Amino acid sequence: MIQVFPINTSAFGVEANGMTKRFGEFTALDAVSLKVAPATFHALLGENGAGKSTLVKCIMGYYQPDDGEIILANDKVTIGNPRVAHAFGLGMVYQHFTLVPAMTVAENLVLARDDVPPIVDWTKERKRLDRFLSGMPFRVPLNAKVSAISAGERQKSEILKQLYLRRRFLILDEPTSVLTPGEADEVLGMLRGMVEKGELTVLMITHKFREVMAFADEVTILRRGKLAGKGHVKDLTPDSMARTMIGAEELTVQPGRAGEFGGPKLTISGLNALDDAGQPAVRGVTLSVRGGEIVGVAGVSGNGQRQLIEVLAGQREAESGKILLQGEPYHATRQEMRRAHLSVLPEEPLKNACVARMSVADNLAFREFDRAPYATGGWWLNGAKFRDDAERKILRYKIRTRSSGSAIGELSGGNVQRTVLARELGGDVSILIAANPCFGLDFAAVAQIHAEIIAARNRGAAVLLVSEDIDELLELADRVVVMFNGELVYETPAAEANLTEIGRHMAGH
């Protein structure tokens, strides 16, 4: 039976000592210790694959550690499954929402309880909910459908749900990745307030140093499954934390900006497109990108950026509007892409730009396979050329693969993206379309991809960069536009960009 533990009504601490977790021969977590003191805001930092998720999943009972112990408020406990964790008052908020969109916030809250009665007495529940909310630092519209409220309100509802279920130790897994900077600050600020009042303990997985510096008390940093460092945030700087995260690895040096803007190379006018459900997603977008310029498109995900990129990449047909590449009309045919030297770095490269079961060499050849020297006489594939070229690109772009003949689906995310980068930027590039090119990648890959994009810009390419990461946009772009609800609503040179102003427009104000 589940070990009965008094439900905590105030914040408590969690200690995990010597946690080790192996998956087959791979050690995901190697004797890592984490100590979160009661009523503190603790940040867990690390690159992708550093073991952050594995560690919190061990604490939440999703995984059973091979070694190590968990101490909850001074008692050693065994957490056999997530229900036990919940009974102890541990709660987790995920990066993506787990609320039912078609139900109201109130319904979602009641639904989440373990003891939902067969017939819900809504008058009584409403009274209880109101009483509960009156003690909370933030409000959500209880009667609104989840599908109708903003991302910030949804994330607040997720957190409220955990508090409503009387969880006093919250694990947040990149909770702000879908929020505007303003919303993120608001939500984290409220949590910070509860922590300071001693009502809550927070362990937050993140990769945003800004949030760590502003909200966290202590930080634990993992690297490749091992504890790489820990300390009080006030003693640390973003630079020192980043160095601890990446270790001794050499990062690609970012080239400086060079060259002048040329004439417009990519011109979009009055573009309209629908989403998969047939609803308007891109509304009258008009935009022009000059040679030697990076235009960044900011926006909370789901505001039409994906559909805009899909139209440009040839994956979606536009309803109306005109696209010109170097002044010539464009309908996403191979000839037009070639003539204009168009390259695309789509988001989720394995899903959008690769064939998982084909080899790395084949995937590298997608743009060129049908002409000499890859094809002899326009018909015969020249296998030796595929291999030679692949081997050259694997070296040049530091793609880690067993061989050029390995299926690309076996590679890690960073190496898949490097492969696509090698294919798309390995030749002449005049126009580059990139969408969240660094999503989920480690520092080394991000630095390399950023350097390649800047280098392409310096060579005179027109770059359209869509990203949900504002820091990335401000670092790379020459000009930033904000997309909201399918429209471009704001434009500013990156040098004069004001984060608050951009955030306001992202939220549609």
Q: Binding residue for other proteins (CB under 8 A) from 112, 142, 375, 499?
A: 375
Give min distance, CB of 107 to other proteins, in A. Answer: 36
Q: Are 387 and 404 in contact (CB under 8 A)?
A: yes
CA distance 364 to 394: 9
Site string for other proteins, 250-269 (x = CB under 8 A): --------------------
DSSP 34-76: EEE-TT-EEEEEE-TTSSHHHHHHHHTTSS--SEEEEEETTEE
Q: Does 497 bind other proteins (CB under 8 A)?
A: no
Q: Does 299 bind other proteins (CB under 8 A)?
A: no
Give min distance, CB of 477 to other proteins, in A. Answer: 23
CA distance 370 to 200: 61
Q: What is the CA radius of gyration of the chain?
A: 25
Number of residues that bind other proteins (CB under 8 A): 31
Q: Binding residue for other proteins (CB under 8 A) from 293, 362, 442, 468?
A: 362
Site string for other proteins, 311-350 (x = CB under 8 A): --xxx----------------xxxxxxx-----x-x----
Q: Are 389 and 365 in contact (CB under 8 A)?
A: yes
Q: Please choose, out of 226-234, 293-301, 371-379, 500-508, the segment that lies near other proteins by the rule CB under 8 A.
A: 371-379
Residue 432: strand, helix, or coil: strand
Closest to other proteins by CB, 104 vs 343, is: 343
Q: Are 145 and 153 in contact (CB under 8 A)?
A: no
Q: Does 140 bind other proteins (CB under 8 A)?
A: no
DSSP 446-492: HHHHHHHHHHHHHTT-EEEEE-S-HHHHHHH-SEEEEEETTEEEEEE
Q: Which residues pair with 462 in a beta bridge?
A: 293, 431
Q: Please choose, out of 41-49, 95-103, 174-182, 363-371, the segment that lies near other proteins by the rule CB under 8 A.
A: 363-371
Give min distance, CB of 268 to other proteins, in A. Answer: 18
Closest to other proteins by CB, 333 vs 500, is: 333
Find the angle CA(503)-CA(505)-CA(509) to the nearest 5 degrees.
115
Closest to other proteins by CB, 160 vs 449, is: 449
Q: Does 276 bind other proteins (CB under 8 A)?
A: no
Q: What is the 3-state secondary structure (H, E, C) of 221-260?
A: EEECCEEEEEEEHHHCCHHHHHHHHHCCCCCCCCCCCCCC
Give min distance, CB of 63 to other proteins, in A. Answer: 21
Q: Does 400 bind other proteins (CB under 8 A)?
A: no
Q: Binding residue for other proteins (CB under 8 A) from 4, 378, 384, 498?
A: 378
Q: Please choose, out of 149-157, 193-201, 376-384, 443-451, the segment that lies near other proteins by the rule CB under 8 A.
A: 376-384
Give min distance, CB of 330 to other proteins, in A. Answer: 10
Residue 327 CA, chain-centre distance (Å), reads 35
CA distance 266 to 443: 30
Beta pairing, strands 375-376 & 380-381: antiparallel
Q: Which residues bind other proteins (CB under 8 A)?
A: 313-315, 332-338, 344, 346, 351-358, 362, 365-367, 369-370, 375, 378-381
